[in-house]
Structure 1
Amino acid sequence: MLTATTPDWSELQPGFDDPVHDAQGVFRAVLDALARPGQLRSVGHRLAASSEASLAARATLLALTDASTCVWLQSPLAGVASALRFHTGAPLLSGEADLASTQGAQLVQFALITDPARCPAFDHFALGTAESPEHSTTLIVDVPTLNEGHIGNDGLHLRLRGPGIATHADVTVGGLTTAFWQARAALAPRFPAGLDLLIAAGDSVLGLPRTTHVEVC
């Protein structure tokens, strides 16, 4: 039977200084980002810097998860895992083997991708069903750069359309290939099943619900 790892309580480390208010602030920022795709939202400087993942990615996980939500970490990040256990008690899975099993994929409600170039195929995650589209994985994808508008050559220029966007919104996202966005687009026929994405860099988060159409410009 697949089981999530059991924490070593002696090694737990805190994340938020003010867990209740910090989590509430991040939660509001993430919800606003999902409601307004294309508009970056700051989660605030609520965590110390870490080489494991961006502030936004770590804060988002801390704000959205609890003891009933299973989290999959692409890499076994000791600091991230410790903070999650300290604040949320969330059961953790890590590595391709856990995700590759049907049981593992269905368990995972949030996944942290810290090496986007090696992101697992989307069908390795729970996509939900037409009857229960909410039973899907939310991917938190950590990228090196993220900007509103089409800025410079450091990343792909994307044009977004869909609910929450008046006409279109332009963003520039580094670290993700055209193939990544093509694979996401291939999920469209499965709607209302699919995956919601939260793209994180620095203290900023970009919400991309499955209803958002993404065009690589």
Structure 2
Amino acid sequence: MGAQTEIHASAYAGAFTEPVFQSQAVFRALMDAMARPGTIAPLGASASPPAPLGAGAGAIALTLCDDGTPVWLSPALANSSVPAWLSFHTGAPLTDVKPEARFIFVDAGGIVPGFDQFALGTQEYPDRSATLVLEIASLEGGAELVATGPGIKHETIISPVGLPGIFLTLSAENRALFPRGVDLILVAGTNILCLPRTTRLRRREI
């Protein structure tokens, strides 16, 4: 009974205290970060979702998810109070069918499925693709990667910590599908770094 009460209570708490203002701030931050790939940006608001969903990822979920956006959660998130929290605060339906999901949330350290398992859009409607929200340990301090592409003047260096070992392969395969493909939001705390499908990554040569 105690565990059930805890899950029930956590589903009601932790949303925005000023929903209109905070969701607008997060949406602007996301749009700006997508327009400037590789740039670390603060979200401007945070949430307090149940663990293991982080404050930044929770804020993104509150801002982007609604009853028309099916969500796929990594196993650790799916087996927590997060589904109840998302349902109560956003109305977003959860799906186990990866191609149906509009948004994908993966907890820090969780296994990242192949991007091509999710909705990639079509040549005619590339916007009908999924957005992957991936929590990681840090947005800087790791191995340096060179990012190039639209929205980046010449090139920019990123150094996230906590990406899966096959990330560059996943990214290259995703980039090759353009204009189809998923867009990626890396989250650490309440900071984000966006890597849309147009961004090309390579290891920095020293």
Q: Normalised by the shorter chain, which TM-score bucket?
A: 0.7 to 0.9
Q: Distance in 2 between matches of 1:77 and 1:45?
A: 26
Question: For residues 159 and 11 of structure 1, do their structure 2 counterparts lie closer, same or farther at Cα, with a shift above 3 Å needed?
Answer: closer
Task: Say yes or no: does 1:106 pair with 2:105.
Answer: no
- 2:89 — aligned with what? 87
**Equivalent pairs: percent with the same residue?**
37
- 1:4 — aligned with what? none
Q: Distance in 2 between matches of 1:26 and 1:79?
A: 23
Tell me which amino acid in the other structure corresponds to 2:56.
Answer: A
Task: Say yes or no: does 1:126 pair with 2:119.
Answer: yes
SS in 2 for 1:126: coil
SS in 2 for 1:176: coil
Count the aligned residue pairs: 195
Offset of residue 141 of structure 1: 0.4
The answer as to whether partners of 1:159 and 1:169 remain within 8 angstroms in 2 is yes
Offset of residue 83 of structure 1: 3.1
Give TM-score, length-normalised by structure 2: 0.86
Question: For residues 142 and 127 of structure 1, do their structure 2 counterparts lie closer, same or farther at Cα, with a shift above 3 Å needed?
Answer: same
Task: Say yes or no: does 1:23 pair with 2:16.
Answer: no
- 2:3 — aligned with what? none
Question: For residues 84 and 177 of structure 1, do their structure 2 counterparts lie closer, same or farther at Cα, with a shift above 3 Å needed?
Answer: closer
- 2:58 — aligned with what? 58
Give TM-score, length-normalised by structure 1: 0.82
- 1:73 — aligned with what? 73
Tell me which amino acid in the other structure corresponds to 1:62.
Answer: L
SS in 1 for 2:98: helix
- 1:199 — aligned with what? 186
Tell me which amino acid in the other structure corresponds to 2:53.
Answer: A
Offset of residue 50 of structure 1: 5.5
- 1:13 — aligned with what? 12
Q: Distance in 2 between matches of 1:117 and 1:159?
A: 24
Deviations 1:48-93 (A, max 9, x none): 3754122111111111111100111103154433332222100013
SS in 1 for 2:150: coil
Cα RMSD between the aligned structures?
2.2
Q: Distance in 2 between matches of 1:180 and 1:163?
A: 20
The answer as to whether partners of 1:52 and 1:77 remain within 8 angstroms in 2 is no
Give the one of 190, 198, 201 matched to 2:177: 190
SS in 2 for 1:146: coil
Moved more, 38-47 or 48-57: 48-57
Give the one of 166, 171, 180 matched to 1:179: 166
Q: Distance in 2 between matches of 1:163 and 1:77?
A: 38
SS in 1 for 2:153: coil
- 1:143 — aligned with what? 136
SS in 1 for 2:166: helix
Q: Distance in 2 between matches of 1:157 and 1:114?
A: 22
Offset of residue 189 of structure 1: 2.7
The answer as to whether partners of 2:27 and 2:63 remain within 8 angstroms in 1 is yes
Tell me which amino acid in the other structure corresponds to 1:166.
Answer: K
Richer in strand (by share):
1
Task: Say yes or no: does 1:41 pair with 2:44.
Answer: no
Unaligned runs of 5+ in 2: 1-6
Moved more, 48-57 or 129-138: 48-57
